[in-house]
Chain A
Amino acid sequence: MGMEEIKKAIVEYLSKGAKTKVYFNDILHGVKKTIPDAKLPEVKKAATELVREGVVEYFSTGSTTMYGLKGRGISAEEAGAKTE
């Protein structure tokens, strides 16, 4: 299976489900449901590629990091929005 196939599986996984930000482990298990023989390094590479392309973005609390589809869920602007 190729990189494009894994990228597609990641985007699909991130598009559905109630949670808009998920851990890498969730992505890995999500991708493995569609592509059972996908290897961890390949999934990481594909996720990194999607971040570089601007399709996926990191969401970090400082202690842990999650992944989300850009435009789905809280945005960078909202994170720093005025609260008063």
Chain B
Amino acid sequence: MAAEGQEKLWDREVKDHRTYKDIRIFTEDQLKKAASTDEELKAFKIKHATPQLDELEKGPWPSVISDVKREALHRKKLGQDNLMIPEGVAEDLLGVVELAYVDKETHWKHGGIIGVLGYGGGVIGRYCDAQEKFPNIAHFHTIRINQPGGHFYNTDYIRGLCDICEYRGSGIMNMHGSTGDTIFLGTTTEQLEPIFFDLTHDMGGDIGGSGSNLRTPSDCLGMARCEFACYDTMDMCYDMTMSFQDELHRPAFPYKYKFKFSGCPNDCVAAIARADQSHIGTWKDDIRINQEAVKEYVAGKIPPDGGGFAGRDWGPFDIQKEVIDLCPTKCMGWDGKKLSINNAECTRCMHCIDVMPEALRPGVDTGITLLFGAKAPILEGAQMSLVTIPFMYVKKPYDNVKEITRKVQEWWMEEGKNRERLGELIQRVGLRTFIMDVLGIPVMPQSIKEPRSNPYMFFKEAEVPGGWTRDIKEFRKKHPL
């Protein structure tokens, strides 16, 4: 049972489900009154002239400027008495962005000593450097919120989040940040703790990672909706998030560290391009082939690419041109009756499966490929992550992955320079050191920089049978010159 006064913290154990009714801040009546009609929006003028921003409302696409103007009117109608930070925050936001367009430089400054007690991440301080002109956005801090797995929200939860953001922040959210978090854009220092309380105690959520932390882990929707998922991404992402809470909230890494979980090699969360530790679903056995369905694709009875090519006549499906010839390792064949795959040569590019999903499926002996070291190009150039362990079975409680993760993180914390990503450290000391000395695993042919080329593993003499020594006379017999 919960400690006295903290009962709400444990509500989830008592109640099965929490509804919007339990957590809502605004009444139905307040929200109805604050809703605006198109006429009201058209007539509404914000207090700053924004001719350059107004240009962004023209054209065929939805405009963020129109959204912020709508929010400005919404806050006006809600009234300052119902809001914890200035009502005019959205208007001042538009004002400062217009000014930045005029000056061609930013009026924000980032960083500082703000956050919630005991946490070193999840809040990014932002201040306006033109506070006289835009007093409502003097503080405009960002809060990163740990998103639900696979970005599955129920309406109760998302409405609860919107209420908190409106009441204690600017009402402007980013769905979602690049890393995957739900983001509250703009609040004051005074509202950080109350937001954290509402989010954790009332909503059962948590804030995410920023700074030298484990960043908010993210995953694809995996087995919830995708037939290609080779493991339960959402369960593993949640489990790893809970296991590495200390790393997520108390920054002690040299720089950021990202976990990403993709259910199959289509890699819908782009783990291979972004995550220091990528978990990408794969299979050990053969691609499952339904030869009858292949014939139906060839006969034009099933649309290829899940019907993705629509809107004009793309011509008849040509399996040779669109599948067989595009296989990067040329491991497929079609004789007009039967599709064959040399599975040992398959590099899991997923193209054939994506084109003919009803005919081809990943194998059934599934697990993950564990990769390390991807990063965007901030310090050195961008790097893709490296196949480190070609295949691992993953099952709750994922102890095999956690053990490797701890080993890697500890090594990086000891050896990494400040602001050096894991991939850069691996590059600096060499992959041999990482794989053989740090992880203590044997070198594998899959551990190469690019498939079928460029092996980078160097052996020590003791590791090679017979060593380097050779009988020069014997050698010269075969190589006289």
Q: Is the CB of A25 within 8 A of B418?
A: yes
Contacting residues, chain A, for B253 (C-beta < 8 A): 24
Nearest CB in chain A to that of B110: its residue: A62
List the B side residues contacting A28 at CB < 8 Å: 413-414
* Residues of chain B lying within 8 A (CB to CB) of residue A65: 120-121, 210-213, 251
Complex alpha-carbon distance, A25 and B189, angstroms: 28
CB–CB B211/A74 < 8 A: no
Q: Which of A58, A83, A84 is packed against the most chain B CB atoms within 10 Å?
A: A58
Residues of chain B contacted by A62 (CB below 8 angstroms):
110-111, 124-125, 142, 210-211
B407: Cβ under 8 A from any A Cβ: no
- Chain B 99-135 against A: per-residue CB contact (8 Å), 1 yes, 0 no? 0000000000111111101101101110101111100
Contact A25 B112, beta carbon cutoff 8 Å: no
Q: Which residues of A contact B365 (CB under 8 A)?
A: none
With contacts A58-B113, A79-B113, A83-B129 taken as known, whether A63 is within 8 angstroms of B120 at the C-beta atoms is no
- State how many angstroms separate the Cβ of A59 from the closest Cβ of chain B: 5
Q: How far is the CA of A62 from the CA of B141 in the complex (A)?
A: 11
Cα A47 to Cα B117 in complex, Å, equals: 14
- Which residue of A has the minimal Cβ distance to B419? A64
Determine if B255 is an interface residue (Cβ-Cβ < 8 Å): yes
Are B113 and A64 in contact (CB-based, < 8 A)?
A: no
Q: Known contacts A48-B250, A62-B210; is A26 also within 8 Å of B413 by CB?
A: no
Considering the complex, give the chain A residue whose CB is closest to the CB of B115: A58
A76 touches B418 (CB 8 A): no
- Cα-based distance from A72 to B169 in the complex (angstroms): 30
Say yes or no for B139: interface residue by CB 8 A criterion.
yes
A80 touching B139, Cβ below 8 Å:
yes
Does B417 sit at the interface, judged by CB under 8 A?
yes
Cα distance, A74 to B132, chains bound together (Å): 22
A40 adjacent to B113 (CB under 8 Å): no
Nearest-Cβ distance from residue A11 to partner chain B, whole angstroms: 17
Interface residues of B in 258-315 (CB under 8 A from A): none
Bound state CA distance, A71 and B212, in angstroms? 22
Partner of A61 from B110, B142, B250 at Cβ < 8 Å: B110
B115 engages A44 (CB within 8 Å): no
With both chains docked as a complex, state the minimum distance between the C-beta of A22 and any C-beta of chain B, in angstroms: 9
Interface residue? B138 (CB, 8 A): yes
Q: Cα distance A79–B231 when bound, in Å?
A: 45
- Residue of B with least CB distance to A75: B113
Chain A residues within an 8 Å CB radius of B378 = 63
B189 / chain A contacts, CB cutoff of 8 Å: 76, 80
User: For B413, what are the chain A residues with a Cβ–Cβ distance below 8 Å?
Assistant: 24-25, 28, 40
Q: Please indicate the chain B residues that have their CB under 8 angstroms from the CB of A76 in the complex.
A: 112-114, 189
| Cα(A83)–Cα(B210), bound, Å | 26
Q: CA A52 – CA B246 in complex, angstroms?
A: 14
Closest-by-CB residue of B relative to A47 is B252
Interface contacts beyond A23-B254, A62-B210, A80-B127: sample of 5 additional A-B pairs, CB < 8 Å, sorted by A: A23-B418, A24-B253, A60-B112, A62-B142, A76-B113
Nearest 6 A/B pairs, CB to CB: A79-B112, A65-B211, A65-B251, A61-B111, A62-B124, A58-B120
